[in-house]
Structure formats: C-alpha cells, structure tokens
Structure 1
Amino acid sequence: MKISVIIPVYNAENYVTQAVESALQFDEVFEVILVEDKSPDNALEVCRNLENKYERVKLFQHPDKENHGAGASRNLGIEKATGDFIAFLDADDYYLPNRFDAEKKLFENQEVDAVYGALGVHYYSEKAKEQYEPLFGDRLTTVYKKHDPEDVFPGLLNMKGSFGLFSIDGLTIRRKPLLEKIQPVFKTHLRLHQDTEFLLRSSYYLRFHPGILDKAIAMRGVHESNRITQVDSNKKKPSITRVMLWKEVNKWAESEPAIPKDIKIHIKRTHRSWEIANSSVGKKWGMILKYLITDYKSIRSGLYNINFRNNLF
C-alpha cells in the first residue's frame, strides 16, 4: 500500500507535529501532505520545519497564499497526492498504531473502494474536557455494527435505524475511483460540514467497507480553540450550518437521476426540518402549518427527529 495522508493546517502550531508523526509511524504511509491555509499562528513555520526534518513530508499552500478553508485545502492535497490511497487527518488529531490494520487486508480485494473505522476522543486540557465533555464524552464515533456497502449511504441518512457515524479521520479511500467518480471531492463553498457532505455523496457512488469499529483507530483532539467544536457545542449555530449542509445534499440528490425516490423524499424532508428549526418563531409556525396542510409526512418525519426537536424552539 502507498498511502497519501492529507492534513489541512490552520491555527494548529501546537498540534500539527503530533499529527504528522502519528502518520509517519506507518511504513504504508508513502507521503504526508500538509496544506497550510494562512494560519494566524506560527503553524507555517512549524510545517516548514517538519518538511525539512522528514523526507516523506511535503508542504503546500494555496497559489494565492490566502485562507480557503478545510475543503479547498483537502482538494489541493488530493491534487498533489501520488499514493494509491488517500487518508485524511485533521492537524489537531492523530492516528493510533492500529490505524491501517484492517485496511491492509481489506484492500487486497479490488472491489473495496474505501474502509472506515472508529474515532476516539482526546482532551488536550482539563478546561477543554470540562467545556466539551457533555458534547463528546468518552464515546467512540463509530458505526454500531458491520454493514454491507449498499447500506452505508442510507445508514448515514438515518434511514437504517441506529446506524452511527464515522469520521474522515478514520477513512481510507482508493485514489483512482475517488477522482473518477467524486467531483468535486469537497464542496469548497461549505466552510463547515463539507466532510459530512463528502461522506454522504461518496458513500453513494463508492463501496464503503467497515474496518475496526469497536475501538479507536484515530483520536479527535479537543481543545478550547477548536473551531468546529465551538460550533457544534453552540445551540444556535448548528441549525444554520445544518441548513446549508442539507440544502447542498438536497440539491445534489435532485440532480442525480439514479437515486431512488424514497431517498430523495427523505433528504428533502430532512432539509425542510432544519429550515423550520432555523426559522424565527413566527416563521416556524407558518412553515409547520404549511407542511401540515401540504405535506403532513414531511413535518411528521421532522418531529420524530431528535435533532430537529432540540432545535425547534
């Protein structure tokens, strides 16, 4: 295996060395690609030092050297990658020694396009643990049992009951089918949740197989300045970003003729539910009344969704 590990770097001078060295522990890692995204801290200099220290580390910036977000940075990393497989890692996260144990065996089967595994949680400080433990706890981010590849896409859409989740930190994917079937790879206009949109879309086109699900193969690093952690823990902002996410997923689903009608309806209703949840109080009641009259099942499916109910008022 020749794996290219892609690490977008933003405001992570204190963490990126650990991320890089956790990837370099594996002989299968052919290269570690750092994409520095105009960090406000000293991350660029740290990345330069890592490139000088390790032969397998390659550093890139966007052509204009401006900030473009994690999605655009991952796209640039994929463009520069030369390995047969792509793995992702956030700059404040890190791999565990078992990261590619399942992948080495599963990818012997040429029909396997991607392998996913479980993600654990590491709190970098007591303050971070106190602040964010209610959000993450010590739980694994994982899929609860092994599923056939055709069940992954509807499972991520919450159409398979208690399915679970996986993170791109735990995903390894063949580069060739990724480039052939998933374009663009990451939607750059989504500044948040572009990884979730990517997982949904790619799991429809590619065959995702379960790897190690009962223990972590990588760790999510949680600290006070983690941008996505701050958004996920905020009771107001998540609904705004979720509306944007599901709007994009719905737009894609409507443009893809092969997606079954029941799945398209489910996606549309999920999008509507988040739109209602993000509306002002007066507009909420108007939208609820509208869907009760014109599409009762749509609002009913939303009311059964705990995330929607939590964000309703």
Structure 2
Amino acid sequence: MLDISVIIPVYNAAEFLEKSVTSALPFEEVKEIILIEDKSSDSSLEICKKLEEKYPKVKLFQHPDKENHGAAASRNLGIEKSCGSLITFLDADDYYLPNRFDAERKLFNDPGIDGVFGAIGIEYLTEKGKREFQSKFNDSSLTTVNYPAAGKDVFKGLLGLTPKTFGTFFHLNALTIRKTVLDQYRLRFNEFLRVHQDSDFIIKLSYHCYLKSGIIDKAVAVRGIHDNNRITKIVKYSPQYNQRQQLFWNSLYEWSKKTKLPPDASRHIYLQKKSFDLSLKKGFLKNISLLIAILKNPYILKTRYRFTYMHS
C-alpha cells in the first residue's frame, strides 16, 4: 500500500482550509497531512490547531521563528517534517477528488517510476476571481498536458522542445513523488521566488527524475479560484510580470550551469532568461542591448516571450 504525506502550506486560508484537509483524510494511503502555518493574519492558525486536535493524521508546524516565509519555504519545511515514502502537495484553498490516487496505486508498483502527475479542474468561488482568471487563462476546465508522456519527454515538453505542444505545466496538486529522489537530487523549492516556484521545481524535477503521466483527461483535484489568487493579479508583460519571469528563468539558468543538460535545453533556458533581462532595460540602452543580443544569437527572436521587451 502507498505511504503518502500530504503537505499543505497555510496562509490566510481560513475560509477554505477545512475542506482542503478533509478532502485528503479519507484516503487510506494518506498517512499524514502536514500543515505549515505561515503567520496568517486571519484565523488560519486557530483552525489548524482544531484540525490537529480532531484528526490524528493532521500535524501542525510553523517556521522556527513563527514568521512569514512564503509558500516555497513552507513546502520545504513540510518535506523535512514528512515521514511518508511518497510526497504530495495541496494548496489550502484547493481539494482532492476521490480518484486522486487511482493512477498512483498502479504506477508506483514499478520501482523505476519516481513520480506521477495528473490533471486538475477549477472551481470559481467568486465572480471577481472568475473574471480575473478567465482574462488571463481563458476558460479552460482542466490544467493538464496534451498527451501521455514519461521520462525525458516530460522535461522536453515542459520547455516546449517537443514536436507537438505538450502543455505549459501540470499543477503541484496533481503530483506525487518519491521522497527518496527529492533527497537524492537535493530538490527543493527556490525560496527566493515568491511566484513560479512550483514551475521551477517541476521543471528541475522532470529532468532529474522519471515522471510519468497518470490521469490527464479528467481532474484528480480542484483548484479554487477566488479574489486573492496571486497569479491572476499580475498583468501580462507589465514590468512586474517581466521581473518575476526574469527571476524564474534566472533560477533555471543558474541551475542549468551546474547540470549537464542537452544543448537545446541549455540554449532555450538561456535565451528565455536573456529575453526577460532585455525586457527590464529601458530606452536607448534597451534597443542597443537587443541589437547586440540578436547579433550574438538570432534565436532569441524565437523565444516564447520574444516581444516582452516591447511592452515594458
């Protein structure tokens, strides 16, 4: 039987937290639900304490200084505190569906598989949240990939290096990973990234580990969309958007310099980073820097965000 630790970072999630926790409780495979409370300003801490008292599976932790450190640091603390052989994640405003571990029960019989990922659905909790989400991501009912994949094809697909469009990403809520491989490759979330730390983690994970798609045609978890979803607050190609993308791609670039990636992957990561470096420059300096970059490597004009420099 699977032995799973569910890690839930908690910050100002009082309205949603109990539903999130209770969605993970019924699974016999779930041995513990780890709540990392990150100095919320609402009643989340009190709810965490009540859930820990009520349910033996629930374990509550805070950062040693009891200060706010962000989702990446909270997930990292959860990994350190976990006892299960398998790690899963769940955001405090989301919940699992009854089929959450159907694929895992079969696929993890193969010791060569390090991780399994699936699809998540969305639930609109507020009208404002719905409008903001649909303006950024259209009205897609599933966050998923376009076709089954495993191994290096997942890594290539996430970087857009496959002949067919794989899909931009899969969500942490639908990922299950062996804890041993996280420790073996020292894989943790980049705590300097306030957003996109999940995408950064998943791309690095997909290179080092053998991931396999599970249920990708229907949801195994649900993401709650409401007024305070951070990712929908950022206007695409705004200075804030470009800066956060630059931090994300720079994180991957620094990692790539220490990792023996295929040449096409290294080049792609570098050019994406360079594209956003350019987007943060201004005026005449931007134009000169862009011209120099094109002369050095014309492929920069083929990056996914090749026009970002025009919008800042």
TM over 0.5: yes
Question: Per the shorter chain, which TM-score range?
Answer: over 0.9
Distance in 2 (alpha carbons) for counterparts of 1:294 and 1:282: 19
Aligned partner of 1:237: which letter? Q
Distance in 1 (alpha carbons) for counterparts of 2:104 and 2:235: 30
The alignment's TM-score, normalised by the length of structure 2, stands at 0.94
Aligned partner of 2:201: which letter? F
Which residue of structure 1 aligns with residue 214 of structure 2?
Answer: 211
Q: State the 1:234 CA deviation.
A: 7.8
The alignment's TM-score, normalised by the length of structure 1, stands at 0.93
Report Cα offsets for 1:131-183 as digits up to 9, x if no partner.
Answer: 32222323311110011312111111111141112011110001111211134
Distance in 2 (alpha carbons) for counterparts of 1:200 and 1:106: 21
Distance in 1 (alpha carbons) for counterparts of 2:237 and 2:31: 39
Which residue of structure 2 aligns with residue 229 of structure 1?
Answer: 232
Report Cα offsets for 1:287-310 as digits up to 9, x if no partner.
Answer: 22111222222x2223xx2x4436
What is the aligned counterpart of 2:153 among 151, 154, 158? 151
Distance in 1 (alpha carbons) for counterparts of 2:274 and 2:72: 25
Give the RMSD, CA atoms, in angstroms.
Answer: 1.6
Q: State the 1:311 CA deviation.
A: 6.3
Which residue of structure 2 aligns with residue 57 of structure 1?
Answer: 58
Which residue of structure 2 aligns with residue 240 of structure 1?
Answer: 243
Distance in 1 (alpha carbons) for counterparts of 2:309 and 2:127: 29
Which residue of structure 1 aligns with residue 113 of structure 2?
Answer: 112
Maintained 8 Å contact 1:278/1:312? no
Unmatched segments (≥5 aa) in structure 1 = none
**Aligned residue pairs: how many?**
307
Which residue of structure 1 aligns with residue 179 of structure 2?
Answer: 175
Q: State the 1:284 CA deviation.
A: 2.9
Q: Is 1:44 the equivalent of 2:48?
A: no
Q: State the 1:83 CA deviation.
A: 0.8
Which residue of structure 1 aligns with residue 140 of structure 2?
Answer: 138
Maintained 8 Å contact 1:6/1:88? yes
Aligned partner of 1:253: which letter? S
Distance in 2 (alpha carbons) for counterparts of 1:275 and 1:111: 39
Distance in 2 (alpha carbons) for counterparts of 1:172 and 1:259: 24
Which residue of structure 2 aligns with residue 9 of structure 1?
Answer: 10
Q: State the 1:117 CA deviation.
A: 0.4
What is the aligned counterpart of 1:186 among 189, 201, 204? 189
Distance in 1 (alpha carbons) for counterparts of 2:236 and 2:58: 33
Q: State the 1:232 CA deviation.
A: 6.4
Maintained 8 Å contact 1:98/1:217? yes
Cα 1:259–1:233 change in 2 (3 A) is closer
1:216-295 equivalences in 2 (<5 Å):
216-231=219-234, 235-256=238-259, 258-295=260-297
Maintained 8 Å contact 1:182/1:202? no
Which residue of structure 2 aligns with residue 75 of structure 1?
Answer: 76
Query: What is the aligned-residue identity percentage?
Result: 44
Maintained 8 Å contact 1:119/1:170? yes
Distance in 2 (alpha carbons) for counterparts of 1:312 and 1:120: 34
